[in-house]
Amino acid sequence: MIEDPYISRVDLANNVGISETSIYRNIEAMRGKYLRRVGPDKGGFWEVIET
């Protein structure tokens, strides 16, 4: 997500080697702590929050 903030869940699942459902659960767990959504669901992107 740092290299490509516009990456889709499907592409991320293929790159990591886990299911799209697992990607969704992991994103939800990290939302607010490590990830922030910028823009709408379509056309927006993920921003990694620096800690």
Question: Does residue 45 have a pLDDT over 70?
Answer: yes
pLDDT in tens, 1-39: 889 999 999 999 999 999 999 999 999 999 999 999 999
25 within some domain:
yes
- Contact call for residues 45 and 38 (beta carbons, < 8 A): yes
20 within some domain:
yes
Q: Which domain holds residue 44?
A: 9-48
DSSP 1-51: --S-TT--HHHHHHHHTS-HHHHHHHHHHHBTTTEEEES-TTT-EEEEPP-
If one counts the domains in the chain, the total is 1
29 within some domain:
yes
26 within some domain:
yes
Question: Does residue 51 have a pLDDT over 70?
Answer: no
pLDDT of residue 2: 87
Q: pTM of the full predicted structure?
A: 0.80
43 within some domain:
yes
15 within some domain:
yes
4 within some domain:
no
Pull the structure tokens for residue 32.
């607010």
1 within some domain:
no
pLDDT of residue 10: 94
For residue 48, what pLDDT band results from cuts at 50, 70 and 90? very high
